[in-house]
Structure 1
Amino acid sequence: MKLMVHKSKENEWAFATPERAAEMSSASMSPRRRWKLFQRSSSAIPSKTSKPQAPKEFVCPISGSLMADPVIVSSGHTFERACVQACKSLSFTPVLPDSPPPDFSSVISNLALRSAILSWCHKSSVDPPKPLDFASAEKIVRASIGSRNETKPQNVVVSDNQLLINPTVNFTQAATEQTRLPTHFPSSSDESVSAAPPLPFSTPPRCYSSPSSSSSELETLNPNCNSNPSLSVEDEIPIKLRSCHVFEIEEALASLRNITRTREDARARLCTPRLLSALRPLITSRYTAVQVDSVAALVNLSLEKSNKIKIVRSGVLPPLIDVLKAGTPEAQEHASSALFSLALDDDCKTAIGVLGALPPLLHLLRSESERTRHDSALALYHLSLVQSNRSKLVKLGSVPVLLRMLKSGHMTGRVLLTLCNLSLCADGRAALLDSGGVECLVGVLRGNEFDSKATQESCVATMYGLSYGGLRFKGLAKKAGVVEVLREVEKKGSERAREKARRMLEMMRGKEKEEEDEVDWAELLNSGFGSRTRCQPGGGLDESSVNSLDF
């Protein structure tokens, strides 16, 4: 039995794996012997290779990771491109050890360093770094800003800008720029000045009277808006608008909307390129609250005259026009108000028309929202003061649309304002005459159903513009019975309407006089009076007018 057991041990050693052999040998050894053998074997086994340390020049000083897209800035420093973009967006200048502050005014790709980093990764068997996205870089920069602010002393002096956090709300200051508009809007073209100047316009805008603009928004501003006391409102709101958290964006937009609504002095301060660039992508956000509040804040910013050209140059118009086309009804309402406000500036009218705002504004004249229709019509009126926009509106087929609205009595006064401007250009006059504009205007005047004297003046001014159409207008006007209507206006109309009616009546009477003075030359020749001078311009035929020359 002992011999058989010994033989099985030999077989077990013969067929054992190296690991099993080590276990068996260690089991037969004493504890001290096993410990010495373990120390020897563990020292003989090679350790796992650690990740090679990247050279300091290959690491971004801001992110602390290997650079995938290194760039050189104006000061000569090299950073990851996304980190530079985040620093510029947040107006943050990092502090580098033993180095002057970096200058981010210009950025150049460092192709040589990028090639060296990829070569080092290949030799070191390290995966090449992936480019850092903007959101991750922004988080890193914000963390740097927070850590720097924590190291600052706590006795920070409060600046004037921080007083915007909790302003004293004054309801009387919630006035729009429309109330400060002049009573006369000069046209930008010579033709409109010579033919029929735009009429006085005093209709109040609806920029502040949206359903969501309730009195709750005029309460004390959210004290959490400025969560970082060391940052002013001008600095913190753009930072929060670029947050990756929707609730922070909504909070910042609500604060911005409240401040710009109640504080006229804050509109110019907050309307900076940095804030507008942060606001631009939010206009077309898929979150309804974000889209509505961003467009509403833009309306409030546009009320300041000095901000209008800034907003147009910031690239906000294309997304704003997209909201007009496919935004929520409330966002469309605010977008039409914003374009109406921007169209008040002569320097913005052409740009708004070129970027394609006219078709959606024309379409929104049929909107279910009264305020949207109101502001769209006013925007079209101010945009049509420019000759280039008049031609575009005519080509878009706006004249038949406006005439149908006029016949139905829908927004008569505002439609007539735009038609008056269109009648001042040759294309607009031709389109109005082709679409039965004279007959339609005569019908409106004959009905004498005007909500104000200004509406009657707009109707007469539109017809006065068509009177420059020459003989074609005279023929259509006579057929429509315009003389009787103009005589009624001359008796009961306003002073401006009476003046234009009097001029058109003089023109019509001049035509009738010419018709009465026409001579039938065939009958005259057959009667034997062959002298060409027998018919004088001012009278009939008599013996004193006979030419004494014989042929």
Structure 2
Amino acid sequence: MGSGKHWWKLSIHRSKSTNKPHFKNPPNDFICPISGNLMADPVIVSSGQTYERACVQACKILGFTPSLKDGSVPDFSTIIPNLALKSTILNWANHSCPKPVELDAALELVHSLMPPQEKGEDEEKRKKMEISEGLIGNMIAKPNLKPEHAVTELTRHRARFDSDESLPNSLPSTPMYLATRPRCYSSSSSSEIETISPRSWDEEPYVSKLRSLHVHEQEEAVISLRKATRTSVESRSALCTPRLLSALQSLIISKYCRIQVNSIAALVNLSLEKSNKVKIVRAGIVPPLVDVLSGGFPEAQEHASGAIFSLALDDDNKTAIGALGALPPLIHMMRSSTESARHDSALALYHLSLARSNRTKLVKLGLVPVLLGMVRAGQLTGRVLLILCNLGACSEGRASMLDGGAVRFFLQMLRKGEFDSESTRDRCVAALCALSHGGLRFKGLASAAGAEEVLRKMVEEVGCSKWARGKAKRLLEVFKAREEAEDVDWEKVLDSGFPSQAMS
């Protein structure tokens, strides 16, 4: 993709959101030539230069090789952690660790550096790697929509929930790179050397060692399998066989940490290929993953969350995963101490909640109060709102949300307008749209919370998105129907069912 013809003068420039402001005037050797920021996780590539790890990963993902100011072209085939430089940077920064570049931000940066011609050539690949983080379109997509559509076409379709009700059109999408891949796949061990070396892939050496009675051979096999499947599509396709999956299954719940962690990490790699997802579930891998989620080693739990998320992207797996007991531990993992586990478990629950049978189970498991509490605490707000929108598609979910004071709380969020992004506000409006199918009780609760005033302000607000203004207008039309029912006893409606618990 890249060539010596492109003399990219990647001069030092600052990203407002990447590094802390007190890191002033760092030495040039501490700066990543691609991001222009102080490096937090420096790695040495095959050609000898040092870059921020996320920037190298972004270049490899997008197939882009930038030329440096001297016209040289780096080789990204192998990366090795530059621990000496990392230690030097920490000492220079007085042991105040700089913030690593997020992979999403690195992808956007690298894509912006690509020449127009390469962007055009890369467009098809990029589209396949993008998915809408703001996908209320996913929320209202058919649960049986095929995975390939989930990446590129969801926002172009008007679909319905798998229920008796239909909801408004989808939101405009906001690109989110690699949302079809678990976050644990994007991070690698600081001691790991990653190599791309095409070869013929034979399952027999792996299977033989995986089934060995010697622990050191099992460990060697899972580590080798993890490395072999990390970057090679060919290896992932060739090695995902019934024999290998059967041999790997027992090691997932190994009492040895390194075996457990690396076996699940290898499974995550195998699950990235669409053709492997159903094979893995049918091989009986989900029950041991559930066991790890419930009581495995912490790092193994991160990978297990990522594996369930990856497998849940295939609609043929959603119901089976829910039936095999993955829902309760995923709910627990959303409160994990690690960002990767929280991220992947939330997205796993989002995709699993697209299946009607799982929505009912999640409501019965008491997920709605947990999610409302997380939104109130500002935890995973955007993703949690997406799950709530899915749950609002079924009558049980709406009832639980109304009982939990969701209407008042969502209106309070809109009234304050303190959102981390435009898409979060749009999701809040979408959740109200889902609840609007709650009939008279919704209108009673919303009227008592001052919904009409909040919605009118949204319609008049210039900074509000066109989508949100349109849904606010639609909700206002719901309240106009009150004029046709002036004799409704709203206090009686409010008192019906379980009492609503205010969340203010």
Q: TM-score range by the shorter chain?
A: 0.5 to 0.7
Q: In structure 1, how many angstroms separate the alpha carbons of the residues matched to 2:296 and 2:128?
A: 25
The match for 2:465 is 494
Q: 1:341 to 1:370 in 2, by over 3 A?
A: same
The match for 1:445 is 414
Contact kept? 1:438, 1:477, Cα under 8 Å = yes
User: Could you say what secondary structure the match of 1:389 adopts?
Assistant: helix
The match for 1:505 is 476
Larger Rg computed on CA atoms: 1
Matches within 5 A, 1:111-510: 169=77, 179-181=129-131, 184-185=137-138, 186-188=141-143, 189-191=161-163, 194-196=166-168, 199=171, 200=173, 202-203=175-176, 204-205=178-179, 206-208=182-184, 212-214=188-190, 216-219=192-195, 233-492=202-461, 493-510=464-481
Q: 1:210 to 1:322 in 2, by over 3 A?
A: farther
Task: Give the C-alpha shift of residue 442 in structure 1.
Answer: 0.8
Q: 1:169 to 1:241 in 2, by over 3 A?
A: farther
Q: 1:192 to 1:309 in 2, by over 3 A?
A: farther
Contact kept? 1:460, 1:500, Cα under 8 Å = yes
Task: Give the C-alpha shift of residue 472 in structure 1.
Answer: 0.5
Task: Give the C-alpha shift of residue 197 in structure 1.
Answer: 5.5
* One-letter amino acid matched to 1:269: A
Contact kept? 2:130, 2:175, Cα under 8 Å = no
* One-letter amino acid matched to 1:187: K
Tell me the number of residue pairs that the alignment of Structure 1 and Structure 2 aligns: 343
Task: Give the C-alpha shift of residue 451 in structure 1.
Answer: 1.8
Contact kept? 2:433, 2:475, Cα under 8 Å = yes
Q: In structure 1, how many angstroms separate the alpha carbons of the residues matched to 2:479 and 2:191?
A: 57
Q: 1:457 to 1:346 in 2, by over 3 A?
A: same
Task: Give the C-alpha shift of residue 512 in structure 1.
Answer: 3.8
Q: In structure 2, how many angstroms separate the alpha carbons of the residues matched to 1:277 and 1:176?
A: 34
Task: Give the C-alpha shift of residue 418 in structure 1.
Answer: 0.3
Q: 1:262 to 1:360 in 2, by over 3 A?
A: same
Q: Note the alpha carbon deviations across 1:38-60, whole angstroms, 9 max, x for none.
A: xxxxxxxxxxxxxxxxxxxxxxx
Task: Give the C-alpha shift of residue 489 in structure 1.
Answer: 2.3
Task: Give the C-alpha shift of residue 235 in structure 1.
Answer: 1.7
Q: In structure 2, how many angstroms separate the alpha carbons of the residues matched to 1:277 and 1:198?
A: 41
Q: Note the alpha carbon deviations across 1:119-144, whole angstroms, 9 max, x for none.
A: xxxxxxxxxxxxxxxxxxxxxxxxxx
Task: Give the C-alpha shift of residue 427 in structure 1.
Answer: 0.4
Q: Note the alpha carbon deviations across 1:228-271, whole angstroms, 9 max, x for none.
A: xxx95322111111111111111111111111111122211110
Q: In structure 2, how many angstroms separate the alpha carbons of the residues matched to 1:312 and 1:176?
A: 28
Matches within 5 A, 1:5-154: none
| % identical equivalent positions | 54
Q: 1:198 to 1:363 in 2, by over 3 A?
A: farther
Q: 1:517 to 1:410 in 2, by over 3 A?
A: closer
Task: Give the C-alpha shift of residue 484 in structure 1.
Answer: 1.6
Task: Give the C-alpha shift of residue 345 in structure 1.
Answer: 0.7
Contact kept? 2:264, 2:300, Cα under 8 Å = yes
Q: In structure 1, how many angstroms separate the alpha carbons of the residues matched to 2:306 and 2:466?
A: 32
Task: Give the C-alpha shift of residue 364 in structure 1.
Answer: 1.0
Contact kept? 1:187, 1:197, Cα under 8 Å = no
Q: Note the alpha carbon deviations across 1:132-159, whole angstroms, 9 max, x for none.
A: xxxxxxxxxxxxxxxxxxxxxxxxxxxx
Q: In structure 2, how many angstroms separate the alpha carbons of the residues matched to 1:369 and 1:446?
A: 32
Task: Give the C-alpha shift of residue 500 in structure 1.
Answer: 1.3
Q: Note the alpha carbon deviations across 1:409-451, whole angstroms, 9 max, x for none.
A: 1111011000001111100011111111101111111221222
Task: Give the C-alpha shift of residue 497 in structure 1.
Answer: 1.5
Contact kept? 2:201, 2:239, Cα under 8 Å = no
Contact kept? 2:196, 2:231, Cα under 8 Å = no
Q: 1:470 to 1:220 in 2, by over 3 A?
A: closer
Contact kept? 1:399, 1:432, Cα under 8 Å = yes
Q: Runs of 4 or more off by more than 6 Å in structure 1?
A: 170-173, 175-178
Structure 2 unaligned segments of length 5 or more: list them.
1-75, 80-106, 108-121, 144-160, 490-504
What root-mean-square deviation, in Å, do the aligned CA atoms of Structure 1 and Structure 2 show? 2.9
User: Could you say what secondary structure the match of 1:216 adopts?
Assistant: coil
Q: 1:286 to 1:396 in 2, by over 3 A?
A: same
- Per mean C-alpha deviation after superposition, the further-off stretch among 254-263 and 177-186 is 177-186
Contact kept? 1:169, 1:262, Cα under 8 Å = no
Contact kept? 2:218, 2:259, Cα under 8 Å = yes
Contact kept? 2:392, 2:435, Cα under 8 Å = yes
Q: 1:232 to 1:373 in 2, by over 3 A?
A: closer
Task: Give the C-alpha shift of residue 485 in structure 1.
Answer: 1.5
Q: 1:331 to 1:178 in 2, by over 3 A?
A: farther
Structure 1 unaligned segments of length 5 or more: list them.
1-167, 519-551
Task: Give the C-alpha shift of residue 210 in structure 1.
Answer: 6.4
Q: What TM-score does the superposition give when structure 2 sets the normalisation length? A: 0.63
* One-letter amino acid matched to 1:218: E
Task: Give the C-alpha shift of residue 336 in structure 1.
Answer: 0.4
* One-letter amino acid matched to 2:129: T
Contact kept? 1:340, 1:378, Cα under 8 Å = yes
* One-letter amino acid matched to 2:477: E
Q: In structure 1, how many angstroms separate the alpha carbons of the residues matched to 2:447 and 2:468?
A: 19
Task: Give the C-alpha shift of residue 331 in structure 1.
Answer: 0.4
User: Could you say what secondary structure the match of 2:262 adopts?
Assistant: helix
* One-letter amino acid matched to 1:504: L
Q: 1:170 to 1:481 in 2, by over 3 A?
A: farther
Q: Identify which of structures 1 and 2 has the higher relative contact order when contacts are C-alpha pairs closer than 8 Å and 6+ apart.
A: 2
